[in-house]
């Protein structure tokens, strides 16, 4: 029977290729859809857990405070003890000013002249006591400032103000002509991915450079001292709301501080978790059912194509069970070929499948990780499909009866 099976695989090539392609397509979908959906889900949730697990304490009405607050400093141990809080990062920030020049034409025909305004950017030094934690800086380009490099990191990749070049800054005064502040030149070292909350602090300075440039007295009065901004990292997105509630209770009413978090993203992620998972499961199940249905239908219809074949074999001493075994072996051969093809297809396609999302101005790239369970399970699945199809086709032939199937040749 082995030679007969191999002969049919090879000799009945068009039919074999058709069944292999249908089955391989279905198995590829079976291997790919759950992997893609799993990767998307995991990727988005990981991103969500990375980005939307942050809360910040800032002044009421969204106004960043210029001076530090002992209140925040005193609350750190209590906030750290709240269930679901992973870490607390107190930050002292201040403003860095940069003059912006433009042409102003006055009404009444008195002509145009150059004018300037001072643009202030919320800034913090990277690292150190009450500095912006370096662990939260995710560079999307450039590098971290090194040594005494007169450079800064733009903490908001959507901030279009800065491009490559040297900028003239002032720290310590909001009046360009004042003698209180220190003026200096600096360049961009890198750009950090935007987090809508932590990105409220727009410029991150090289601490060493800033300390040298400002001197200890001015540095301590601008970027030292108690924090005026606090970043809280929750364990996961599910903890964010309860942490926000607990922290709000700790903050006294009228303290000028409030807690904010990215509620929209949080809700979207929770919806993704609760609603998309069943959808992906449904897609996977539906693709499998569709594959089996198509293979069954094609095999069922195809059985009539060579109905005389079982007729011939039965008149030559075969029993229906022997014929059923022959069909099963043929379909197993097809199933194994289809499995091998589908495994190669899943691995190849999965390698090139990249999903990119625009998230808060950044491109979130999610690669497809092939789930080995679905890949390996394609083999027993193809064998199970083969068994079902052989059973169905044999039963159909039996139902037709030997006399009828021979009448068609």
Partner 1 sequence: MIELKGVYKNYGAIKVVEGMNLRVEDGKSLCVLGRSGCGKSTLLKLIALITRPDRGSLTVDGEDVSRMTDAEMDKMRRDKVSYSFQEPLLIPYITVLENVTEVTGVTREKAVELLTSLGLGDRLNYKPPKLSGGEKKRVDIARAILRSTSVLVADEPTSNLDPDTGERVMEMLRAHTERGRVLVYSSVEPSEARFASQVINMEEK
10 counts as binding partner 1 under rule CB under 8 A: yes
- Residue 409 near partner 1 by CB under 8 A: yes
Of 109 and 317, which has the nearer Cβ to partner 1?
317
User: In angstroms, what is the minimal distance from the CB of 406 to partner 1?
Assistant: 6
Q: 3-class DSSP state for residue 191? A: strand
Between 320-352 and 308-315, two packed helices, what is the crossing angle to 10 degrees? 140
By beta-carbon proximity to partner 1, the closer residue of 94 and 390 is 390
Q: Token digits for 298?
A: 């094609």
Residues 52-71 that bind partner 1 (CB under 8 A): none
- Helix (H) and strand (E) counts for the chain? 11, 13
How many C-beta neighbours within 10 Å does residue 110 have?
A: 8
* 183 vs 173: CA distance, rounded Å: 10
Binding of residue 305 to partner 1 (CB under 8 A) = no
Near partner 1 by CB under 8 A, which window of 9-17, 41-49, 169-177, 195-203? 9-17
Is residue 314 involved in binding partner 1 (CB under 8 A)? yes
18 binds partner 1 (CB under 8 A): no
Look-up of token digits 């009539």: 304
Nearer to partner 1, 98 or 309 (CB): 309
268 touches partner 1 by CB under 8 A:
no
Extract the tokens encoding 329. 């072996």
> Least Å distance between CB 401 and partner 1?
8
SS (H, E, C) 97-151: EEEEEEEEECCCCCCEEEEEEEEEEEEEEECCCCCECHHHCCEEEECCCCCCCCE
Q: Is 8 a residue that touches partner 1 (CB under 8 A)?
A: yes
Q: From the list 167, 280, 320, 355, which residue makes contact with partner 1 (rule: CB under 8 A)?
A: 320
Residue closer to partner 1 (CB basis): 218 or 331: 331
Residue 309 binding partner 1, by CB under 8 A = yes
Which residue in the set 137, 312, 340, 349 belongs to the binding site for partner 1 (CB under 8 A)? Answer: 312
Report how many residues bind partner 1 under the rule CB under 8 A. 26
Pick from 135, 121, 204: nearest CA to 170 = 121
Residue 277 in the binding site for partner 1 (CB under 8 A): no
229 to each of 70, 203, 256, how far by Cα in Å? 11, 14, 12
Going by C-alpha positions, the residue among 75, 100, 101 that lies closest to residue 88 is 75
Among 139, 182, 332, 406, binds partner 1 (CB under 8 A): 406
DSSP designation for 274: I
List the one residue from 76, 318, 353, 355 that touches partner 1 (CB under 8 A): 318
Q: Interface with partner 1 includes 17 (CB under 8 A)?
A: no
The interface region with partner 1, picked from 6-14, 121-129, 222-230, 242-250 by CB under 8 A, is 6-14
Annotate 32-87 with DSSP letters as a single string.
HHHHHHHHHHHHHHHHHHHHTTEEEEEEGGGPPPSS--HHHHHHHHHHHTSTTEEE
Per CB under 8 A, the list member of 185, 319, 348, 365 interacting with partner 1 is 319
| Closest to partner 1 by CB, 305 or 351 | 305
Burial class (CB in 10 A: 0-12, 13-18, 19+), 321: exposed
Q: Is 331 in the site for partner 1 (CB under 8 A)?
A: no
Does 3 sit near partner 1 (CB under 8 A)? yes
Helix H or strand E segment including 278: helix 277-303
Phi-psi region of 102 (alpha: psi -120 to 50; beta: other; left: phi over 0): beta
Only one of the segments 150-158, 241-249, 312-320, 367-375 lies at the binding site for partner 1 (rule: CB under 8 A); that segment is 312-320
One of 315, 354, 357, 363 touching partner 1 (CB under 8 A): 315
Instruction: Report the interface residues with partner 1, using CB under 8 A.
Output: 1, 3-4, 7-8, 10-12, 308-309, 311-320, 398, 401-403, 406, 409
């Amino acid at each position: 029977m082995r030679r007969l099976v191999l002969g049919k695989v090879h000799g009945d090539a068009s039919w074999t290729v058709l069944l292999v392609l249908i089955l391989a397509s279905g198995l590829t979908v079976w291997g790919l859809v759950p992997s893609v959906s799993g990767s998307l889900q995991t990727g988005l949730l990981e991103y969500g857990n990375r980005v939307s697990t942050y809360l910040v304490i800032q002044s009421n009405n969204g106004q960043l405070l210029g001076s530090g607050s002992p209140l925040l400093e005193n609350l750190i141990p209590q906030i750290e003890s709240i269930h679901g809080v992973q870490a607390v990062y107190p930050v002292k920030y201040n403003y860095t000013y940069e003059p912006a020049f433009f042409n102003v034409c006055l009404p009444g025909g008195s002509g145009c002249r150059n004018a300037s305004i001072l643009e202030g950017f919320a800034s913090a030094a990277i690292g150190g006591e009450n500095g912006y934690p370096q662990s939260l800086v995710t560079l999307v380009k450039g590098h971290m400032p090194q040594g005494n490099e007169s450079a800064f990191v733009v903490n908001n990749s959507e901030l279009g103000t800065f491009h490559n070049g040297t900028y003239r800054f002032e720290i310590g005064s909001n009046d360009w002509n004042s003698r209180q502040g220190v003026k200096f030149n600096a360049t961009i070292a890198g750009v950090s991915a935007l987090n809508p909350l932590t990105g409220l602090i727009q410029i991150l300075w090289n601490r060493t450079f800033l300390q040298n440039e400002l001197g200890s007295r001015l540095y301590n009065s601008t970027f030292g001292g108690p924090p005026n901004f606090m970043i809280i990292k929750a364990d996961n997105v599910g903890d964010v709301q309860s942490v926000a509630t607990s922290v709000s209770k700790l903050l006294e009413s009228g303290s000028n501080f409030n807690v904010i978090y990215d509620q929209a993203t949080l809700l979207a992620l929770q919806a993704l978790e609760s609603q998309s998972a069943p959808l992906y499961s449904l897609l996977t199940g539906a693709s499998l059912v569709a594959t089996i249905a198509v293979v069954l239908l094609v095999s069922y219809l195809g059985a009539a194509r060579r109905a005389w074949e079982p007729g011939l074999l039965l008149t030559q001493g075969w029993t229906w069970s022997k014929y059923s075994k022959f069909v099963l072996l043929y379909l197993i051969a097809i199933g194994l070929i289809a499995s091998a093809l589908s495994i190669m297809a899943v691995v190849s396609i999965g390698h090139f499948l990249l999903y990119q999302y625009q998230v808060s101005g950044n491109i979130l790239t999610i690669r497809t990780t092939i789930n080995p369970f679905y890949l390996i399970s394609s083999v027993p699945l193809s064998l199970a499909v083969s068994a079902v199809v052989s059973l169905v086709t044999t039963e159909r032939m039996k139902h037709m009866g030997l006399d009828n199937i021979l009448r068609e040749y």
